[in-house]
Chain A
Amino acid sequence: MGYASNLGVVDTLQQIARSVGLDVRNTLSTPQEEVIILYTRGTGTFSADQRYIALTNKIYKMSGEEDGLHEGVWQRTFDDPTELLKVPPPPAGSMEEPQGPVPHLPVSAQTKAHWTFADGSYISVAGPALSHLVPLTDGSFIFLVSTAQIITGGGGRYAGAYGVVQSLGATHVAKDVNLFGGTPVPFEATTFDTFRVVRSRYYKSLPAEGPQSQSGSSGSSSTGSGESQGAGSQSSGPSSGQSQSASGAGPSAEYPFPAKYATVHEARMHYIERGTGDPILFVHGNPAWSYLWRNIIPYVQDKGRAIAVDLIGMGRSEKPKIGYSFKDQAKYFEGFIRELGLRNITLVTHDWGTALGFHYAMRYQDNVKGIAFMEALLKPYAGWDDFPASGNDPNLAQLRQTFQGFRAGDKNGPGWKLIVDENLFIEKLLPNTSLPRKLTEAEMKYYREPFEKPEHRAVIWHWVHQLPIGGEPSSVAELVANYSEDLKASTMPKLLIYAEPGLVLTAEQVKWCDENLKNFQKVSIGPGVHFLQESSPEAVGGALAKWYAQLGKTATVA
């Protein structure tokens, strides 16, 4: 009876303590610094050679409330794991005078890590670590890691933030399990993390920051406080200071996203993500990659889990030896969704990404909350006369002829020469269809990156040959015709973001959408051609954020 009563008191105290969280005010040197204390729990995975560990953990506030995702990599710098069992001797000399000796202990690992909080804000760090293995009397071990890390970048409310971090991790290694031997197995891990952060609004940039200074980092004062709003209403503004919309300084060339990979059909697919909640999956087309979405993601990263994938053979994804047909691409794209276990997805699509998105959405309607599309492939082209000519735009007057040229011949034929040997898709088509804005050299460098080697440009050529024109290729023509019909019947929420004149989605296609689609909204963003994310990121992001905010309320309205 008494025990039960005491438990009740304990439970009540726990509830109260958890509800109020930790008061960190006494730990501040100045109100200009922010102290964060949290813990994480999740899974660690060794590399095959046991030199690396990757950690994927959920973040929790001290109240127990979930608050995002923590990921990191530990690289050991020791050779013999038994070194981790050793304890150095107690330090000699006084602790009370500013003098040596102070022992110089070798670090046992280097680390890099990333904390993405529930609102999409994030902090990136790197730094050395000590590791220690403690044998327990029951035959098991506790593997400990203590890191000292410096903040290298941030986003959202931590855009332009500086500071230091520590992480104190632990893993219980069961009896008879050899953590550093045999076949690597995933293991449970927990970390206890503290941060001292100075946000950008308090940080004063100095003219020269020394040899290790990060050039072009998000730490420059031009990123502002990370709290200003973009064009449009507050609810449709970006949550990060990293895009042009927060500073008014023009679209950002930066791509401040840590790389993530999913293994799909034995190939690694690269992706980036921000935020938590229902997935908002960004799908690019030809010849882009997730870089295309860098200035759009900040508009929704505080509303859901924004994920941008690089299609197989593109961007930073692997380039396996496959045929790169549309069906191959769909197989990997859908494998990616399965691998990440994505549910209740909102698709945000562009160019060939729209075809992949429509094809998936119409077959898995229960798993898709809505689909936004730009420069879309809505239906097969009946013939070349049906293919956009864009005759009004002097830069694009030859578009139809250009694509006919791209489709001419087989491998090593005239079209192959233009795309693979001369790289015209990247060097000519991409800049001309990003108008009216001119891509900067820094941006072009990112777009060129996946296709530096001619053999890597073959995927671009394959995409061009998958365009369903005049019934060929028949498999794609049939597939596109099928989803086109299904789209007409579907009440799934749909958003068209379009520009004028557009490239593949012109006034005629807008009219088709008006006449055929249900539960459909459209937003004109003014002048633009094809890469609307480059020419008008603030308008695209704002329209997307506004529509997404309505999704839950209007999802079933036809």
Chain B
Amino acid sequence: MASVTPADSFLGNLLGMSDNLGAFLHGMQSAPQEEVLLRYTKGTGRFSPDKKFITLSMFQYKFSGEQDGHHEGVWEALFTHPNELLSRPPDPTGAINLPQGPVPAINLIAETKGIWVFGDDSSVTAAGPALSHLMPLKDGRFLFTVTTCQIITNGTGRYQGARGLKTSLGSTLASPDLFDPTKNVPFEATTVDTFRIIRSKDVKV
């Protein structure tokens, strides 16, 4: 597992205090009943032998650097060959400021599920589709990235009965043999996670 990253500066501590005071993410709320969270995670990823699945085992942090629980999740590949991850679609055509098409239909690359357990042991579980993109770097390595759109399926603790959506934006600096089925070593990974949560007390059943 990756080592815990401490709050490494005075400014970091101030940010953490501000975050704890709930002052930081109010600009992103659509209503007071909505809770907007921003976290990042760092840890380790492991492939299944057939390279079809990845599991993540991560520590979770506030942006102050303070640890705030952990995150585990599974990614399932929907593509047939990793070369598909190197391509990207063309720029969308048509108006960008009018409610009309065309809007390109982008194929899914993966499906995901995950759990985010916070420092007080409250948790959020979510699932949803993902895109993945493999970017060759000039130093010969690759950046493997994942972007997910997920729906909260259940929660515990303060998030018992909560509803909402979340995202996870992950990356891993990888060697060219990341998808080589003859090699299977754990890799370091990091994610940035955003949540929009409505707690059960505000949800009309």
Contacts and interface: CB of A to CB of B under 8 A. Distances in A.
Instruction: Decide whether A and B are members of one complex.
Output: yes
Nearest to B57: A96
A142 B29 CA distance: 10
A259 B147 contact: no
Contact of B147 (A54, A127, A209, A268): A127
Interface in A245-300: 256, 258-261, 268
Contacts of A215: 90
A331 to B, nearest CB: 22
A139 B33 CA distance: 12
Contacts of B151: 87-88, 105, 130, 132, 146
B99 A47 contact: yes
B48 interface: yes
B204 A136 contact: yes
A457 to B, nearest CB: 24
A99 interface: yes
Interface stretch (A157-165, A233-241, A500-508, A516-524): A157-165
Contact of A148 (B89, B130, B195): B130
B1 interface: no
B185 interface: no
Contacts of A217: 90-91
B96 A258 contact: yes
A107 B108 contact: yes
Contact of B33 (A113, A136, A166): A136
Interface stretch (A184-192, A351-359, A419-427, A430-438): A184-192
Main secondary structure, interface of B, reads: strand
Contact of A168 (B53, B93, B196): B196
A464 B47 CA distance: 68
B129 A128 contact: yes
A402 B172 CA distance: 64
A20 B46 CA distance: 36
A149 B24 contact: no
Contacts of A105: 111, 127-129, 151
A182 interface: no
Interface string A197-229: 010011111100111111101010000000000
Contact of A73 (B99, B105, B113, B191): B99
Contact of A149 (B21, B73, B135, B147): B147
Given A13-B23, A88-B153, 8 more contacts: A26-B40, A46-B99, A47-B99, A93-B113, A102-B75, A148-B167, A170-B29, A192-B36
6 contacts: A91-B127, A105-B128, A164-B133, A168-B166, A196-B147, A215-B90
